[in-house]
Structure 1
Amino acid sequence: MRADEWKKIWKSEEEKTFQGWDFSYINNRTHEQPLPWDYKEWVLSYMQVASTLLDMGTGGGEFLLSLSPPPGRTYATEAYPPNVELCQKTLPAYGIDIRQVYEDDLLPFDSAFFDLVMNRHESYAVQEIHRILKPGGIFVTQQVGGQNNRKLSRFLLDADASLTAPGFNLAGSIRELEAAGFTILEAREAFPVIQFYDVGALVYFAKIIEWEFPGFSVERCFDQLCKLQQQVEQDGFIETTEHRFVIIARK
């Protein structure tokens, strides 16, 4: 296929719409190495003894709903306006109170309100988490570390343009939580790989993850995308390294 034909295909992927936090559109075009822990299982185990719980950065609420959370006792926060609008249309029917947030250190909840605060891939202010948790309350967080997709981002953008902090990792987060008065119950870190079976799937992904690929576009990165196309034709995939860590902490 000629380069201009590839460009047309990739531009169509670049223009796809995205809602909530649902990557199912490219599920069968990628393969992600599983993490050596199960965030969902850990959350479910703590939900069994929680009377009030919060899901921070719920996205479109897809993951939260998969937990079948208790109605009337479940709260969610989200900052991104399109996701807030989506959640306002869906979550109240399940008895979930959705709040739009603007600042990590100004959450709209009373002190010592929650038994469980869960946070998957959302920023947070440690002191504010400590404030809203009851004594003995649990904070479960899975985070995207600062080395996530960094090598691929440098290749595509010809520079270390990622807006994420390169030093954001497990050790630093543990120190911060302990300094705030938390006890660490569990902590793990991993660097799984994800494979893209076609360049179009990568284009769709990179356009969404704009904080790791700032300024990415098919036009700007076309030469690099053509090199990746050659790699797909040779190896069958493009591979990038992710960075994840998980912490369970008790107030």
Structure 2
Amino acid sequence: MNEFEFKCFYDRIGRMNGWNFSKVKCISEGEQWDFYGEVMRRCKPSDLLLDIGTGGGEALLGLAGAALLLIGIDSSPGMIEAAQANRAASGKSNVRMLQMDAGELDFPESLFNVVSCRHAPFSAKEACRVLVKGGMFLTQQVSEDDKLNLKSAFGRNREVHTDGTLQNQYIAELREAGFRDIQSFEYDATEYYETYEDVLFLLKHAPIIPDFGKLEHDFAILEAFLERHRTSKGIMTNSKRFMITAVK
């Protein structure tokens, strides 16, 4: 997908579902951290937390007890509609959801103690600007080799980058923005999806295969993939992630 196509896709999914994959039946072996658990560990009860690319806000709402005030932002109107509805249903009074571009944060300098970003683009300079001195930035991103067997089966990911390209780019941008103590981590976990419907939901709600379902042979390719990668534990693929932490 190009940037415009992804924004349209992301906004449509936001209105349909938020960024909620909790109904997908999947087990994972080899994950080395829980990202929002890591964020929570860095928070104190008196802290202000900013979550960039909060999606439907489901994960951020789960952190409500960890900080004084939590603000989730997303550029997608559809995602923010879902996030605001989720916040209202939760009754969490110390959480706010705002539509905002991560490249132009509408906050004063040195406001937040912690800034998090999961599976979304960010501006290292803006993240640094809104953090207090000594504040922590954490991001988890999807590696290029994520869902590698699934991508190979369809063979139409036009923009192929060497695994590690994005990780190295972000580290360089954080260093240039003035962050210190930059650390990076990665894992390549094995995932097992229980049913055909679980894999189908994933493909329809995540930008793994461009234009999935629009081409004539997509479902035949999917059927063949499922037969080839079905195991006693479920339908096997991989989840490759990297996490970066940095201090202002």
Q: TM-score, with normalisation over the residues of structure 2? A: 0.80
Q: Flag the structure with higher strand content.
A: 2
Aligned to 1:200: 197
Would you say 1:134 and 2:132 are equivalent positions?
A: yes
What whole-Å deviation, never above 9, does each CA across 1:89-119 have from its counterpart, x for those lacking one? 3426423222102x33111211211111011
Asked whether the 8 Å contact 1:198–1:232 carries over to 2, the reply is no
Relative to structure 1, is the Cα distance of residues 202 and 193 closer, same or farther in structure 2, using a 3 angstrom cutoff? same
Aligned to 2:184: 187
Aligned to 1:31: 27
The structure 2 residue matched to 1:241, chosen from 231, 234, 238, is 238
Asked whether the 8 Å contact 1:198–1:229 carries over to 2, the reply is no
Q: Trace 1:39-50 onto structure 2 (pairs within 5 A).
A: 39-48=35-44
Amino acid at match of 1:140: L
Q: Trace 1:1-251 onto structure 2 (pairs within 5 A).
A: 18-27=16-25, 30-48=26-44, 51-69=47-65, 73-91=69-87, 93-94=91-92, 95-101=94-100, 103-156=101-154, 158-161=155-158, 167-210=164-207, 212-217=208-213, 219-231=216-228, 237-251=234-248
Relative to structure 1, is the Cα distance of residues 226 and 76 closer, same or farther in structure 2, using a 3 angstrom cutoff? closer
Asked whether the 8 Å contact 2:61–2:95 carries over to 1, the reply is no
SS in structure 2 at match of 1:43 = helix
Q: Which has the larger Rg?
A: 1
Amino acid at match of 2:104: L
Asked whether the 8 Å contact 1:150–1:160 carries over to 2, the reply is no
Relative to structure 1, is the Cα distance of residues 71 and 134 closer, same or farther in structure 2, using a 3 angstrom cutoff? closer
Relative to structure 1, is the Cα distance of residues 137 and 61 closer, same or farther in structure 2, using a 3 angstrom cutoff? same
RMSD: 2.7
Please give the alpha-carbon distance, in whole angstroms, between the structure 2 residues aligned to 1:145 and 1:55. 20
Amino acid at match of 2:114: L
Amino acid at match of 1:177: L
Please give the alpha-carbon distance, in whole angstroms, between the structure 2 residues aligned to 1:164 and 1:77. 28
Asked whether the 8 Å contact 2:175–2:182 carries over to 1, the reply is no
Asked whether the 8 Å contact 2:102–2:121 carries over to 1, the reply is yes
Unpaired runs of 5+ residues, structure 2, are 1-14
Q: How many residues align?
A: 230
Q: TM-score, with normalisation over the residues of structure 1? A: 0.80
Please give the alpha-carbon distance, in whole angstroms, between the structure 2 residues aligned to 1:234 and 1:71. 42
Please give the alpha-carbon distance, in whole angstroms, between the structure 2 residues aligned to 1:248 and 1:170. 12
What whole-Å deviation, never above 9, does each CA across 1:13-38 have from its counterpart, x for those lacking one? xxxx95122212222xx222242123
* Matched-pair identity in %: 27
Amino acid at match of 2:144: G
